[in-house]
Amino acid sequence: MTAVTETRLPGLRLVRRGKVRELYDLGDTLLLVATDRISAFDCVLTPGIPDKGRVLTSLSNFWFERFVDVENHLLEKDAGRFPEVAAASKDLLAGRAVVVKKAAVIPFECVARGYLAGSGWTDYVRSGEICGVRLPAGLWPRPGIRGHAGADPRRHEARVRTLRGPASLDR
């Protein structure tokens, strides 16, 4: 099994290549492809992990299906129903790509970990808080959530001091 660390899809225009995902312009919509690249600490590492992109896409689709009452960008997940221009790459795209709405990007990502570590642990030890949320005293490293602004693969992400975002995100 070979890892897919980069795609070059015939007849499609690549718009952006991120740390893990690639975006192709389909006109009114976009094709979002999850590769098997590994991203850690703002770096892309090698080699890729075979089918990692399919796992990421499956996880995303799982949660989109569970929250059907929350509007999202997903339009189509079945590669057999993608636009004709993507048909030649159907086997490669199956399970690792989705067709999505074009939308304004909000450069924010949230990282959920099964423990407190790094700057989150440092903040907790110093102030008893993470991202402006007061936590109980006496915790050991354990599950936590951290936010990062600016999910740009060329720059280190800025730490977020509070989990409350702009009013448009707090709905």
Tell me what pLDDT residue 87 has.
Answer: 92
Q: SS3 of 13, please?
A: strand
Sheet with 144-149, edge to edge strand ranges: 108-113, 144-149, 158-159
pLDDT for 166 = 45
Q: CA–CA distance from 157 to each of 106, 117, 140 (Å)?
A: 13, 16, 26
Q: Closest by alpha carbon to 31, among 68, 69, 70, 78?
A: 78
pLDDT of residue 165: 45
The Cα–Cα gap between 100 and 70 comes to: 15
H or E segment and range at residue 144: strand 144-149
15: left (phi over 0), alpha (psi -120 to 50) or beta: alpha
Give the pLDDT of the chain (171 residues) as one tens digit per residue.
Answer: 899 999 999 999 999 999 999 999 999 999 999 999 998 877 899 999 999 999 999 999 999 999 999 999 999 999 999 999 999 999 999 999 999 999 988 887 776 666 777 888 888 889 999 888 898 888 776 555 555 655 555 555 565 555 544 444 444
129-136, Cβ contacts within 8 angstroms, sequence gap of 24 or more: 131/160, 131/161, 131/162, 131/163, 132/161, 132/162, 132/163, 132/164, 133/162, 133/163
Helix (H) or strand (E) holding 92: helix 90-93
Residues 6+ apart with CB under 8 A from 167: none
- 157 contacts 149 by C-beta, under 8 angstroms: yes
Q: What's the confidence (pLDDT) of residue 109?
A: 73
Interacting residues of 130 by C-beta distance below 8 A, sequence separation 6+: 116, 120, 123, 124, 144, 145, 146
Q: Could you state, in order of their start, the residue ranges of all structural domains in the chain?
A: 13-101, 108-169
CATH class of 13-101: alpha beta
78 secondary structure, DSSP code: -
